[in-house]
Each structure stands twice: as C-alpha cells, then as structure tokens.
Chains A and B, each alone.
Chain A
Amino acid sequence: MNAIGAISGVSGIAGISGISGASSVSPVSGASTINGAGAVDGSAAGTQAPGDSFLNSLNDAFGQLNNQLNATDASISSFAAGGSADLHTVMLQMEEASVSLKTATDVRDKLLEAYSEIMRTQL
C-alpha cells in the first residue's frame, strides 16, 4: 500500500513531460514546470521518506537538465550572433543536452510504465 502511495505521488511527474517540448531548444519555459514538480515533493513527503528522496533527486536532475538546455540555448545564440565560441564546444554542449534529455524522457517513460502497470492491478 505504501508503495502504491509513493507511486501515485509520481503521477504528478506527468507535468514534467512539458520539458520534452524543450528539445527544440526554443525559449525554455520549462523552468516553471519544473518548479511545479516541487509540489510533487510536497505531496510525497507525507507518504514515505525514501520515495521523497527519490523524487528530490529526480527534481534535481530535471533542474539540472533545464539548466543544461538553457546553457545550450545561450551558447547557440552567442555562436549565431558571431560570438567567439568554438563550433565543437557548441556541438558537444548540444550533444550533452540531447543525451540528458533522452535520459530524462527514458526515466519518465519507465515511471509512467510502472504507474500504469500498478493501475492495471485487479483488486
């Protein structure tokens, strides 16, 4: 039951899927979405301490991803504006961001998969 409680708290993470929209490296409005994930922390806090720490680290990871996407955005803009950044620096930063994004979406897929698996349980 505890496990189900912890996982149901995860359902709020679906809100984070908004981040996948940032893959186009458009103006990242995802920051507010990620802050919204803080609410997930709060709701899970009452259920279970381990789940809480997991969600905290997940939240941190998404925050880091957002920072990375923002930094990539900034360096692409500066490169396009004729800045002194090296081409490979920009490219590698983009690759790092894309690997991070892929990790984030894979984690999200796994979580949603686990959630829907639990929801299918016949009581």
Chain B
Amino acid sequence: MSVFDTIRIAASGLTAQRLRMDIAASNLANAQSTRTQSGQAGQPYQEEAVVFQAQQMGPMAAAQGVSAVAVVKSPRPNTRVYDPGNPDADQDGFVNYPNVDVASEMADMMGAARSYQVNATVAQAAKQQALDALDLGKA
C-alpha cells in the first residue's frame, strides 16, 4: 500500500465534499426559485442531495475512497404560499416554492466544510508520514 493511496483516498473525500458543497450552494441559491431550468411556471426547483458510495482506490480492498454516484431530488412536498400577485401563482392564487429547508441546508453546508477540513488534514498527515519515513535515512 503506497503512501499515495492514502492521499488519493483523502483526495476522493475532498472531491466528494466539494460536490456536496456545490449542491448545498445550489439548494440555498434556489430556495426561492419558482421555476426550474426549463422555465416552466408552477414547477419550482427541487431540493437535491448527493449519494455517496465507498469505492476501492488502491490494491487493498479494505482501504476505500468515496465517490458520488448520484444526485437525487428530495421527495419533500413544495411549500405553497398564498400570493395572488405573483406571476407564477396558480388559479387559486397559490405559488409553489421549492421544498428547500434552508436551515438544514445550512447545517449540511457546514458539515461539508468540516468534512473537507478533515480530509485535508488526513492528506497532510499522510504526506507528513512519508516525509518522516524519508527522515529515517538521515544520519
């Protein structure tokens, strides 16, 4: 098991947390988007979540990195707000707002940032380990 495998596992974690952060940013940015990308009225943005899966990185099966395998839409129902003046209001005067829970998204964003830090620390420790091993050769 090369020391670089450790670094690569940590790197996969960093990439995964970056994606989680991207998705959290997307959810927070679109918390009030009443239309999807296609521009259709009445179909608000849907909250997204990343699905992670363990994945073997090096020659050792037990040492696994992580990869994002899917981005799924949250099944939570949309928030309906009575606002007849809104151009996206339906016949009854209700506007469908995204099912984004801003508080939980903020928590998820903080989790992603902390997990990123953790993986960066692991990479640093693995590198320090390699340098310590090299120091064994010093007189």
Contact = CB atoms under 8 A, between A and B. Distances in A.
A95 interface: yes
B76 to A, nearest CB: 30
Given A106-B134, A110-B137, A86 B18 contact: yes
Contacts of A92: 7-8, 10-11, 14, 123
A106 B137 contact: yes
Q: Interface residues of B toward A: which range?
A: 10 to 19
Interface residues of A, number: 11
A103 to B, nearest CB: 6
B131 A102 contact: yes
A62 B7 CA distance: 21
Contact of B134 (A88, A89, A102): A102
Contacts of B123: 88, 92, 95
A30 to B, nearest CB: 20
B30 to A, nearest CB: 22
Nearest to B17: A88
- Which secondary structure characterizes the binding site on chain A? helix
Given A96-B4, A106-B137, A110-B137, A88 B15 contact: yes
Contacts of A99: 3-4, 127, 130-131, 134
Given A96-B7, A99-B130, A99-B131, A88 B14 contact: yes
B120 interface: yes
B15 A89 contact: yes
**Sorted from nearest, which 9 A-B pairs have the closest CB atoms?**
A88-B14, A99-B130, A92-B11, A95-B127, A96-B4, A106-B137, A106-B134, A92-B7, A102-B134
